[in-house]
Amino acid sequence: MKVEHNISRLKYLLKLFRLSEAELLGRISIGLKKPITIEDIFSPEIKLNYLKRIDKVFNKGIQYYLDPKHLIENKEASIFFRKQKFNSNLNFGATKIVNQFEELKISLSTISTLSDMKLKRKVPYFSIKDNPRTVATEIREKLYPKQFTNNLRDFLKSLIVSLAENNIYVFEFIETWNKKEKANIDGFFLSPDFIVLKRQQKSFRREIFTLVHELGHYLINVEEVEEVDYKIISKKNISNVERWCNDFSYYFLIGKYANILNKIETANSNNDYHFDLIERISKETNLSVLALFTRLLFTNKISQYNYNQIKQDLNEQYRLKIEEENKRKEFEKEQGIKRGGAVPKPINSPLFVNTLQSAFYEGVINEYEFCKKLNIKPDKLNRYI
């Protein structure tokens, strides 16, 4: 069976997702003895099963390709039309995630307008000319959680709540272990008020650092999609913007302990590399031990050789921990022991929930749309309205 389709929409998607025609053909021809050709997909009529294969790549729904309306490439539609270059070399999985949240951002902007919900910026703008430590000190007063906890997930949640109170959306995306093409990014910021994070179930410290790093992008209003490595907070070959956001994140999280680290003697074997102090600061700031040692390296408080040894030891400890965890799971599986292994749920920003509630009460969205956007079952609706 063949159907007429809007070829311009397919070409639009290729540009949006930065995918070549050859790459698309390769993806949709997997498992076929006879590969699909350019003529097969760019003719006025296309086989329906080919169109279904295309949609497995883009996930837009078959009706999307049949719609005769022509789509215009503009900067408001996507960050991929606003920016040509990113700090990370984004794979297709990352591009799909960004597009997914770009569409959500546009959707929330529309329903906010229709429900007369105006979100004004409560936090001032800054620039990379401003001292990141000074900015971090000022912003801590406004955004740092009132109650500190070293329960990492709870601390992350409290940060998300604090940002929501200041009209900043924060979202998590979760990738299951069996996903074929995982996004090679940790987070991104979409102007004017959208921060998205990859759930780091085994490393909440990394996710916390990424959140504050993206908050830095929000403060200076510079969009970015990237892999944020909190262990390279001092790397010298990164851009001025990235260095500023990394420094801001460090000072925001470390707070008063920055002065303590600045005053210590050079870490070496004679003082056991200040391990006890570093571990205590890590617990009281939710910065990782390795991130703190990286800062010592940047401030010449530890030699490159000693730093490399410590980094190697910490990485090995982590590897052994994961290996032990995997052995335990394998043993339990052999013994027939079943434990709850539900996929983690993203933390919902109160601002996201409030936006949907306002839209629902104003009749802008219905029950089905409300549940779909929150990814909840209809019988859970009463918990939110």
Q: Would you list the domain boundaries of the chain?
A: 1-73, 112-329, 350-383
SS3 335: coil
The model's pTM: 0.91
- Mean pLDDT on 107-124: 94
State yes or no: pLDDT of 56 exceeds 60: yes
- Mean pLDDT on 316-345: 77
- Mean pLDDT on 208-233: 87
- Mean pLDDT on 87-116: 93
Q: What is the pLDDT of residue 237?
A: 67
Q: What is the pLDDT of residue 73?
A: 86
Q: What is the pLDDT of residue 232?
A: 53
Q: Average pLDDT, whole number, for the chain? A: 92
State yes or no: pLDDT of 233 exceeds 50: no
- Mean pLDDT on 352-381: 93
Q: Are 187 and 330 in contact (CB under 8 A)?
A: no
Q: What is the pLDDT of residue 140?
A: 97
Q: What is the pLDDT of residue 329?
A: 75
The pLDDT-based confidence of 245 (bands split at 50, 70, 90) is: very high
- 36 — phi, psi (to 5°)? -75, 140
Q: What is the pLDDT of residue 323?
A: 85
SS3 364: coil
State yes or no: pLDDT of 338 exceeds 70: no
Higher pLDDT residue, 145 or 385?
A: 145
Q: What is the pLDDT of residue 234?
A: 44
Q: What is the pLDDT of residue 339?
A: 61
**How many other CB atoms sit within 10 Å of the CB of residue 109?**
16
On whether the 1-73 domain is CATH 1.10.260, my answer is: yes
* Inter-CA distances, 236 with 232, 241, 244, 261, Å: 9, 12, 11, 20
Q: What is the pLDDT of residue 341?
A: 59
The H-assigned helical ranges of 17-144 are 21-28, 38-41, 48-58, 62-66, 79-82, 92-114, 132-143
State yes or no: pLDDT of 282 exceeds 60: yes
- Mean pLDDT on 361-368: 94
